[in-house]
Structure 1
Amino acid sequence: MSFKSTVAKTVGKATYWGLHDVLHRGGTSLPGKLATKIDPTILTSVADEYDVVLITGTNGKTLTTALTTRVLREKYSDVITNPSGSNMMQGIAGTMLTAKVRDARQKPLAILEVDEANIEEVARQLKPKAFVLTNIFRDQMDRYGEIYTTYEKILKGIRLFPEAMVIANADSPIFMRGNLPNPKIYYGFNHLPAVGDERAPHNTDGVLSPDDDTVLSYHFRTYANQGYYFSHSTEFKRPALDYAVTKINELTPRHSNVDIDGTPMQIEVGGLYNVYNALAAYAVGRWLGVNTDQIKHAFESNAQIFGRQEALQVHDKEVTIVLIKNPVGANQVLDMMKTDSEPFSLIALLNANYADGIDTSWIWDADFESLKTMGVQAVATGGERYKDLYVRLKMAGFGDHPTYPEIKDVIKAIDELPTKRVYIAATYTAMLQLREELAAQGFIKGGMGE
């Protein structure tokens, strides 16, 4: 280790100690930010100490990472991760530099969520043994550009390590591009017979064949561009799956019950989109030798996931926090709400900071109109860009409704809603601000989930 790396590591650890043990605050970003300022390649100094798995994609990274970590802890004593979703270089550096290893006899695993635009540099320094690919949807176009541009950023990281395993969502046709030489494991849905022939809705991204860029057809779709696709003009079709959802038993806002490879599994989080995240975790677990019973046990544990469908009690209200950040993700959250048998209200919070994406035009592609058919009893909007969201929901048919530009007022807003059940759909930094306020008022422990 070079002198510069030694200083960087010492500064990172000292900062972490000061934040956690002296000030009793969470966070790994500041220790990582200071360490990478001193040595931008600090991760290379710890890369050989871990077996690294990088998880990336547009939606589902945080939950996939959390579930994968939970699965692997059924078998491995030392699994470190970045639990709060701090997925850029400074957050990952902070995680790696401050990790505590309990069993020196066994090489620990590092299961890391990585921002799509950072995957190349993180991979270059950490030399991963596997990449996990969740999906790619249109998201934060000010940062990533179109979906094929986003995928190319990911490919640059994977191409550095042609021997690394690629564990990919085969239901997403974009992942069949790139002609990667890597060994591959594919996961997806096989819950319906492959007999249909449909096209995705006209406004769906990522439905072009990699062979000739013609529009793909589907035997069935799960949502957006995902499903069992095939081409009418070439031999291209979805590859055979190594691990699959073979039956959907029950979907509710609080849990999902499905069969994976014929074995019933209950995941303690709602939404079809989150079944994909669990399936990715299942695939990683099986690859690393975790057996089916152990995975089932991991899924059925009821630990809350930071900012992802966290359920909490606020006075007499049952509150669920869900993250929204792009049209596909927002629509899946709305579909999850449709499975609720109880009347509910919705508070939607919109920020437009760097971590959220500065462009808020995506809210016009989210199907907020569908809320009108769900029996939602009341809506409210808030956050730094509450005016944009107010207009969007007014145009969706909700007319004038309460607005809360200050996050601190959202707690009061919860109390004033007419239903016992309340969903709060928030962009990333709005969710962080809300959690800080909830922690300050004693409804949750800590604002950063560490």
Structure 2
Amino acid sequence: MSLKSNLATMAGKSSYWFLHNFMGGGSSLPGKITTKIDPDVLHELGKNYDVIIVSGTNGKTLTTALIVQVLQEKYDKVLTNKTGSNMVQGIVSTFLESSRPTAGKKGIAVLEVDEANVKPIVEQLRPKMFVLTNIFRDQLDRYGEIYTTYQKIIDGIKLAPDALVVANGDEAIFNSKDLPNPQVYYGIKHQAATDDRKAAPNTDGVLCPVCQHIIHFHYITYANLGDYFCPHCGFKRPDLKFSVNEISAKTPTNSRFMIDGHAYQIEIGGTYNIYNALAAYAVGREVGINPTQIKHAFETNQRIFGRQEEINVAGKEVTIILVKNPVGTNQVIDLLATESEPFSFIGLLNANYADGIDTSWIWDGEFERLPNMNIKQFETGGKRYRDITLRLQVAGVPAEQHRIQPDLEKVVADIPNMPTKKVYILATYTAMMQVRAILTKKGYIKGVKK
């Protein structure tokens, strides 16, 4: 390690120690300090690790966590950025907080990486594997449309041509470009391939990426994911190496399904989370972990903060769910539709950099479905409370059931007085973090995850 790298690492580790012992944490500042001194420090920090990079629009955090749990069936220690801080500085901080592998041995790291940061990360690390979840419209101010987002990812992948790409085969864009890398695909194959249908007109990626004609589906799992084919040019879903053969049950709190003939359950709802589990299964099988071990890993999975995290607030069962784009929001609305008990709904919208400053995506969310659910009270808040309030008003939410509260401290204070035992909070990233901080300060969340 060079003198510059040593100085940078010492400064970063010192700042990490101070922040986590006296300031309650800090997931990216140590990395910012370190990279300011040595922009290439990640090359030194990560050179003794086999690295798996997880990227895509939705599901990165949970997929990463599930992969870590699966790999822990084989490896004693797996390095990961569990806070979800997934840009260069946050990933540098992840390496700073961990002890280096024993001399002569390699560690293993599973890193959630922001789509726009794949290339700068791969320029310094040489990953063994990439895991791709999906590509949807998200933060148009940062990424642009889905094609530019995917290009940002493959610009990084091509720098590591020997790395295995484990991609969602139900996402047509992942099968649209030639890569030098070896590739395997996972997907959901739980229906007969007999239908011929099209996705809804405002769905992302409705055109064939080869010939630009409208793409067709034998079946759709959600959005533009499914068994796709183009009747014009013959483009179609690739062969799946790993597949969900059956979805047995879905509730807001768990999902049961079969992968390659083996029964699994995860304690989290939503079809999108079945995809996340399938991706983790695929990684496990690729590194030699058997189905029984993967089942054990799934049985011990823990809720990730803000990802269907359940918190008891003065007797109320509060579930916090991150939302950030139309597809993810619609999947969460699908999940709410499976709730058998009456509940209250809180929608919190911020537009900071980490959320994406363009909030127009809320108009593509299917909020019109909410008034037909068994929701007894609605509340909206956050910095852009006017936008989310108007969206629910246009969706038909009755004014007498709708409370408007911009202040998140007061939103949390309102929860004990809501008319239902169950409360669902749908929040953008920074709003979710603010609500968690308030709940922690009030003692509702114990042992803050760092």
Match of 2:13 in 1: 13
Match of 1:85 in 2: 84
**Superposition map of 1:50-69 within 5 A:** 50-69=49-68
Match of 1:427 in 2: 428
Aligned to 2:380, what secondary structure does the other structure show? strand
TM (norm. structure 1) is: 0.97
**Partner Cα distance (1:352, 1:122) in 2:** 26
Deviation of residue 106 (structure 1)? 4.2
Match of 2:413 in 1: 412
Deviation of residue 59 (structure 1)? 0.5
Aligned to 2:130, what secondary structure does the other structure show? strand
Aligned length: 448
**Partner Cα distance (1:78, 1:303) in 2:** 17
TM (norm. structure 2) is: 0.97
Match of 2:252 in 1: 253
Match of 1:442 in 2: 443
Aligned to 1:125, what secondary structure does the other structure show? coil
Q: Is the 8 A contact 2:381 2:408 kept in 1?
A: yes
Which digits, 9 at most, give the CA deviation of each residue in 1:167-226, with x for residues without a partner? 000000011122012111100001111111000011111122232111111000000000
Match of 1:226 in 2: 225
Mean Cα displacement is larger for which, 26-35 or 97-106? 97-106
Q: Is the 8 A contact 2:370 2:397 kept in 1?
A: no
Match of 1:309 in 2: 308
Mean Cα displacement is larger for which, 321-330 or 297-306? 297-306
Aligned to 1:370, what secondary structure does the other structure show? helix
Deviation of residue 235 (structure 1)? 2.1
Match of 1:237 in 2: 236
**Partner Cα distance (1:105, 1:193) in 2:** 50
**Partner Cα distance (1:242, 1:302) in 2:** 24
**Partner Cα distance (2:23, 2:49) in 1:** 28
Aligned to 1:363, what secondary structure does the other structure show? helix
**Superposition map of 1:10-409 within 5 A:** 10-20=10-20, 22-23=21-22, 25-100=24-99, 106-400=105-399, 401-409=402-410
**Partner Cα distance (1:437, 1:412) in 2:** 10
Q: Is the 8 A contact 1:351 1:430 kept in 2?
A: yes
Q: Is the 8 A contact 2:66 2:301 kept in 1?
A: no
**Partner Cα distance (1:240, 1:138) in 2:** 26
Structure 1 counterpart of 2:228, one-letter code = Y
- Spell out structure 1 runs of 4+ moving beyond 3 A: 101-106
**Partner Cα distance (1:310, 1:24) in 2:** 24
Deviation of residue 102 (structure 1)? 7.1
C-alpha RMSD of matched pairs (Å): 1.2
Q: Show structure 1 runs of 5+ residues with no match.
A: none
Deviation of residue 3 (structure 1)? 1.3
**Partner Cα distance (2:70, 2:415) in 1:** 35
Task: Tell me: CA distance 1:399–1:373, structure 2 relative to 1, closer, same or farther (3 Å).
Answer: closer
Aligned to 1:377, what secondary structure does the other structure show? strand
Deviation of residue 41 (structure 1)? 1.0
**Partner Cα distance (2:136, 2:175) in 1:** 15
Structure 2 counterpart of 1:30, one-letter code = L
Deviation of residue 404 (structure 1)? 2.0
Task: Tell me: CA distance 1:228–1:11, structure 2 relative to 1, closer, same or farther (3 Å).
Answer: same
Q: Is the 8 A contact 2:59 2:133 kept in 1?
A: yes
Q: Percent identity at matched positions?
A: 56
Which digits, 9 at most, give the CA deviation of each residue in 1:106-156, with x for residues without a partner? 421110000111110011111111111000001100000011010100010
Q: Is the 8 A contact 1:199 1:217 kept in 2?
A: yes
**Partner Cα distance (1:265, 1:299) in 2:** 7
Deviation of residue 100 (structure 1)? 2.7
Q: Show structure 2 runs of 5+ residues with no match.
A: none
Deviation of residue 105 (structure 1)? 6.2
Aligned to 2:307, what secondary structure does the other structure show? coil
Structure 1 counterpart of 2:137, one-letter code = R
Which digits, 9 at most, give the CA deviation of each residue in 1:345-382, with x for residues without a partner? 11010000000000001111100001122222211001
